[in-house]
Amino acid sequence: MSNPVFFTPAGSLDGMAAGEVIVLGGAEARHAVTVKRLSPGEAVDIVDGAGTRMTGKVVAAAASELEVECGSLSFEDRPAVRLVLVQALAKGDRDELAIETATELGVDAVIPWQSERSIVRWKGDRAARAHAKWESSVAAAAKQARRAWIPEVRAAVETAGLSAAVEAADLAVILHEDAVRPLRTVLERWQAAAGAGPREILLIVGPEGGISPREVTKLCGQGAVTALLGHHVLRSSTAGPAAVVLASDVLGRWAAT
Q: Tell me, what's the pLDDT at 125?
A: 85
Contact 34, 43 (CB under 8 A): no
Instruction: Kindly indicate the confidence band of residue 234, based on its pLDDT and cuts at 50, 70 and 90.
Output: confident
Which of 176, 199, 191, 175 has its CA nearest to residue 102? 175
Task: Give the fold, CATH level 3, of 81-250.
Answer: Alpha/beta knot (3.40.1280)
Q: What is the mean pLDDT of the chain?
A: 92
Q: Is the pLDDT of residue 230 over 90?
A: no
Delimit the domains of the chain by residue range. Answer: 5-75, 81-250
Q: What pLDDT, in 10s, does the model give residues 9-57?
A: 888 899 889 999 999 888 888 888 788 888 899 999 999 999 999 999 9
Task: Give the fold, CATH level 3, of 5-75.
Answer: Ribosomal Protein L25; Chain P (2.40.240)
Dist CA 113 CA 115 (whole Å): 6
Q: Tell me, what's the pLDDT at 147?
A: 94
Contact 138, 227 (CB under 8 A): no
pLDDT, mean of residues 149-177: 96
pLDDT, mean of residues 118-137: 91
Check residue 124 and give left, alpha or beta (phi > 0: left; psi -120 to 50: alpha). left
Q: Tell me, what's the pLDDT at 117?
A: 87
